[in-house]
Amino acid sequence: MKPTFTGLHVFVRDLKASLDFYRRLGISFPEGAEKGVHVLVTLDGGAELAFGTLALTRGYDPAFEEPRGGSPNSLQFSLPTRADVDRIYGELTAAGHKGHLAPHDAFWGSRYAVVDDPDGNVIGFQSPQDESKRSRGPNV
């Protein structure tokens, strides 16, 4: 049997703040979802994105430990143009969200930026790749 990836569950401290952040990215949630403890939406392509409060998680997982800071993992969103990366970064940081990595031309040829969501999760935004913007990657 091979498992099938179905989506991602994000643990949140403040459901309203998190849904407000993701609504700015164009994700639609049911009316009044922020009043609950869990919400699940199906994204384009069929993957599910769920948000659950820490209180809910503690209710079914007694071994759950609250994260300290954000996740070292990153949610990635594609945007249609390089200008859109700059625009969404500007909109989110103007709304008070922490800019993690300002928009720049990444070595793989995309315009790329990172903003932290209300729980400190790393959210990346990138444009399609432009071969003329490629450069040598970091020395690792």
pTM: predicted TM-score of the whole model, two decimal places:
0.86
Interval 1-16: pLDDT, tens: 887 888 999 989 999 9
Both structure tokens of 85: 């990366």
Which of 54, 41, 48 has its CA nearest to residue 11?
A: 54
Cα 111 off chain centre by = 17
Span 113-140, mean pLDDT?
A: 92
DSSP secondary structure code for residue 126 in this structure = E
Which of 131, 128, 98, 95 has its CA nearest to residue 111?
A: 128
Domains plus CATH for the chain?
1-66 (3.10.180.10), 70-140 (3.10.180.10)
Interval 16-29: pLDDT, tens: 999 999 999 999 99
Helix (H, G, I), strand (E, B) or coil at 103: strand
Residue 48 half-sphere exposure toward CB, CA atoms < 13 A? 10
Strands 74-78 and 7-12: unpaired
Separation CA 6–CA 88 (nearest Å)? 26
Which of 89, 132, 130, 94 has its CA nearest to residue 113?
A: 89
